[in-house]
Structure 1
C-alpha cells in the first residue's frame, strides 16, 4: 500500500534541488526510507506503513498531510518567492484597490453613524444604528472561512467577480433605503457580505509573491483601506450636501466598480492549488498554541478596536466640537493609519510583525482610555492621529504572523479561520459600546471597556509570541 505526501515540486534544473523541494502531493510507489523522511522534514514516521507488515497507525495518531499542513513549518525556501517584479507589484496594487473599495468603505462607517443619528434614523438609538456598521465589520471577516479555503483550492477569479457585482449592487440599493431594516439588509448584510467575499481571498494572494518583503507588501496593500477610510467620509459628507444621500451612494457605487475592476485585473495567485484541501474549518490547526492564542487575541482586540473609529465623530460633537469639523476626525484617523500601515510593514520585515504589533496595539489601548477625556479640538485631533497610526499598524499586519504558523499553500484556510473568529468581536464591539453609552449618558465608561479589551488582546499576543519563539526574545 503506497503512502501519500502533499507539497509542491519546484524545479531549479539540478537533481539535488528537485529532491529537496519534492513534496507531499507526490504519490510514492514505495514507502520512503528514513533518510528520505529526514530530507522531507517529516518527523512522525509512525504513520508510514513499511514493508515489514508493521501495524497501521491508530486513528488517534495524526496523519501526515492536510491535517498537519496548518501547523507544520513552511517548506518553501526564500528563493522560491519573486519578492518583486512587475507582476508581483501589480498584484499588490490590485489588492490595494480592492481593500480601498471594501475595507476602506467599511472604515468610513463613523460618518454614516453620525448622519443616520441626526437624520434618516433619528428615532433609533445609537446602539441600534451601530448594529448596521457592526454587521458590516463582521461580514468583512466571516466569509473568509469559506472563501479562504476556495482560494487554496484555486477557485479565485469567479467568486471575486461575483462578489464585486454584489458589492456594487448593494451600494446602489442602499441609496433607496429609508427604514432601519432596509439599512440592515442592504448596507449591513449585503455590503458586508460582498466585502468579505472579496477581502479574505485577495489578501491571501500577497504571501504567494513575497516572503522576505511580506511586511512591506502587506503595508502597501493596506494603504488602500486607509485611503478609502480617509476619502470616503469626506466624499460622503460633502456629496450629501451637494446632491443628496441617494446620488451620494450611487457615486460611491461607481467608484467601487472602478476600483474592483483594477483589483480583478491585478490580484492573482501564483502557487498551484491544493488537490486535497480538507475541511473548511481545520480543527487540527489549533493544535498549534501560537496560532490558537493569536486567533483568540484578535477576537478580544476587535471587541474594542473599532469603538474609537465608530464614535469619534459623535463623541466630539458631545464634547462641543463644531459638527462641521467633527466629521473630518474619522478621515484624520484613517490618514494617520496610512502612515502606520506603511511604517509598520517596513519595520516588521526588520524586527518581526508581532514585535511591531504588540507595542503599537498597546499604544492604541492607552489612547482608547484617553479618548473620552479629550474635550478640546486640539486634543481630539492628536488622539485621532496617534490612534490612527497605532491601529493602522495592527490592522495592516493582522495576517502576517499567521503566515509563519503554517505552510504558504494553506495560508488562505488559516487566515479565513482567524478572520471568522475575530468577526464575532467586530460584530459585538460597537453595539456593546453603544449600549454602555446609552446606559451611562457619556463615553467615559465606553473608553474603559474598549481600552480594556484592546489591552487584553495585547496580553494574548504576548502569549502567542512566546509559544511561537519558545522565548521572550527574538525576531517574531
Structure 2
C-alpha cells in the first residue's frame, strides 16, 4: 500500500531550517539540567503557551511553576537553544580570545625570560632551578581551575575576571623590580599564575555556553589568542629588554595584559542558569571510562609535548651554531604556526568529532619530538620543526575544552569537569620542564635522553587518547566522535 504524502505546511508556519553542514555536531549530547525521574518530567507541548516561548513543567507554564520554590529549579529553561552565533555570542568569544592571548601568550613566552635570567639576575642558578618559575606559573593556570570552575558554574564570572585582573597586574608590576630568585618566583610564578588561572576557565567555559554546532570552531578561534600572544609577547620582550631594561619591559607587558583583561570583563558572560555548588573537590567525572582515559592521556602528553621543545629549542639551536636572531624568534615562529593548528583541526572537529581529530595530531607530535634532535641543528631544520610542531601541538592545546564539552551531558557542569581535568594535568605541567632540565644537566648538556623520554611518553599518552576514542565510538555507535 503506498504511503500517504506528508501533510502540507500550514500557511504562516515557518519551514524547517536546512541541516547544518557540520551535521555530526548535532549528535553531541544535549544540555540536560535535570535528570529524568519517574515522577516528574519536563516536556514541551505544542500548545499556545509554548508558541509564546513558555516551557511546560508538570502541566504548568514556567512562569506559574517559578512561584513554587520546589519547582523553581525544574522551571529553568532546558531548551536546546544555543545561539551558535550572533553579536552577543561572538563578543563572548572575543573577550575569551583576549584572556587566551594574555594567559597562554605570556606563559608561553617564558622561554625568553629563561634565557634572560640565565644571562642576568639568576646567572648563578641552574637551568632546572630557573625553569621551576615558569613551571609553577603554568601549573597554577591549570591547578586553581578546580576552585574557579566551581565558582564559574555558580555564576560568578565577572567577579572571577575582576579578581584575576587585580592579582595578575599586581604580580607583573611587583616582579618588574625583582632582583632575587624568590622575588621573581613569587611575582611571576605565583601571582601571574594565579591571575591567569582565575581568568582562563571562565573564558573557555563561557564559550561552550553559547555554541553547540560550532563549539569546536569557536573554541579553536579562542585558542588562537594564545598563538598571537605567543608571537607578540616574545617579540615585545626580545625587542625591549636591550632598549629599556627589564623593569620597564615587564611594565609594558603589564599594561598590555591589563587592557586585555578589561576587555574580557566587559564582554565575557555565561548564559545558562547557575548550578548550586555542593562539593568543592568532586572527582566523580573520573568514574566515566572515556573521561578517565582522556585525562590520563592528556596528562602524560602535557608532561612532554606542551613543554619540552618550547623552552629548550632556542638553547639547543644556539649550541649548534644557528643564528642567535633566528633562535630567539623560534618561539614566535612556533606560535605563528600553531594558529593554523588551532583553527583547522577544531573546524574539522565540528564534523568528525574532537577525539577523531585529536588522536592523529598527538601521534604526530610524538614523532616530531624524536625528530627534534636532527632537525634543530640547522637554520632550515629549526624553522621546519617549529612550523610542524606548532601545528601539531596547537591541536592538542586547543582541543581540550571542546573535548571535555563533547563528553559532558549537563553543560552546567562543564566548568567543573574542565577544572577536574586541568587540576590533574597541572601536576605534569609543574614537573615537566624541571625534569627535562635535570635530565639535560645530568647528561652533561646532551638533549638526546630528554627528547627520547619525551617522545616515548607522548606516544604513550596518544595511545590512551586512542583508547578513549574506541570507548566513545562503541558507546555512540559511530566512527566520528
CA–CA distance in structure 2, aligned partners of residues 312 and 19 of structure 1: 60
CA–CA distance in structure 1, aligned partners of residues 320 and 90 of structure 2: 44
Q: Within 5 A, what are the aligned runs for 1:68-107?
A: 79-107=80-108
Pairwise CA distance, 1:128: 0.7
Pairwise CA distance, 1:268: 0.7
Q: 2:426 aligns with which of 423, 428, 438?
A: 423
After TM superposition, the score normalised by the length of structure 2 is 0.84
CA–CA distance in structure 2, aligned partners of residues 294 and 430 of structure 1: 22
Pairwise CA distance, 1:473: 5.3
1:413 to 2:416 alignment: yes
**Does the residue aligned with 1:272 lie in a helix, a strand or coil?**
coil
CA–CA distance in structure 2, aligned partners of residues 21 and 239 of structure 1: 65
Aligned to 1:350: 351
Aligned to 1:443: 447
Aligned to 2:6: none
Comparing 180-189 with 317-326, greater Cα deviation is found at 317-326
CA–CA distance in structure 2, aligned partners of residues 21 and 386 of structure 1: 56
Aligned to 1:460: 464
Aligned to 1:400: 402
Pairwise CA distance, 1:168: 1.1
Aligned to 1:147: 148
Tell me if structure 2 keeps the 8 A contact 1:143–1:200. no
Aligned to 1:130: 131
CA–CA distance in structure 1, aligned partners of residues 433 and 323 of structure 2: 24
Tell me if structure 2 keeps the 8 A contact 1:81–1:208. yes
Q: Within 5 A, what are the aligned runs for 1:289-368?
A: 289-305=289-305, 306-368=307-369
Tell me if structure 2 keeps the 8 A contact 1:76–1:408. no
Q: Within 5 A, what are the aligned runs for 1:37-48?
A: none
Tell me if structure 2 keeps the 8 A contact 1:111–1:313. no
| Unaligned ranges ≥5, structure 2 | 1-32
Pairwise CA distance, 1:283: 2.6
CA–CA distance in structure 2, aligned partners of residues 247 and 9 of structure 1: 59
CA–CA distance in structure 2, aligned partners of residues 199 and 10 of structure 1: 35
Tell me if structure 1 keeps the 8 A contact 2:43–2:57. no
CA–CA distance in structure 2, aligned partners of residues 279 and 298 of structure 1: 24
Pairwise CA distance, 1:345: 1.4
**Does the residue aligned with 1:311 lie in a helix, a strand or coil?**
helix
Pairwise CA distance, 1:277: 2.6
Pairwise CA distance, 1:378: 0.4
Aligned to 1:14: 50
CA–CA distance in structure 1, aligned partners of residues 180 and 43 of structure 2: 56
Aligned to 2:279: 279
The CA deviation string for residues 348-377 of structure 1, in whole angstroms up to 9 with x for no partner, is: 111111111111111111111111222111
Tell me if structure 2 keeps the 8 A contact 1:280–1:413. no
After TM superposition, the score normalised by the length of structure 1 is 0.85
Change (3 A) 1:312 1:164: same
Pairwise CA distance, 1:113: 1.2
Tell me if structure 1 keeps the 8 A contact 2:333–2:383. yes
Pairwise CA distance, 1:105: 0.6
CA–CA distance in structure 2, aligned partners of residues 223 and 455 of structure 1: 25
Change (3 A) 1:241 1:284: same
Q: 1:380 aligns with which of 379, 382, 390?
A: 382
Change (3 A) 1:28 1:328: same
Change (3 A) 1:82 1:10: farther
| Unaligned ranges ≥5, structure 1 | 30-64, 66-74
Root-mean-square deviation (CA), in Å? 2.7
CA–CA distance in structure 2, aligned partners of residues 396 and 21 of structure 1: 41
CA–CA distance in structure 1, aligned partners of residues 212 and 314 of structure 2: 39
Aligned to 1:174: 175
Comparing 5-14 with 129-138, greater Cα deviation is found at 5-14
Aligned to 1:68: none
Tell me if structure 1 keeps the 8 A contact 2:308–2:454. yes
Moved over 4 A (4+): 4-13, 19-22, 25-29
Aligned to 2:391: 389
Tell me if structure 1 keeps the 8 A contact 2:362–2:392. yes
Pairwise CA distance, 1:21: 11
The CA deviation string for residues 282-334 of structure 1, in whole angstroms up to 9 with x for no partner, is: 23222210111111111111110211111111111112112222110000000
How many residues in Structure 1 have an aligned counterpart in Structure 2?
427
Aligned to 1:433: 436
CA–CA distance in structure 2, aligned partners of residues 295 and 307 of structure 1: 20
CA–CA distance in structure 1, aligned partners of residues 334 and 328 of structure 2: 11
Aligned to 1:270: 271
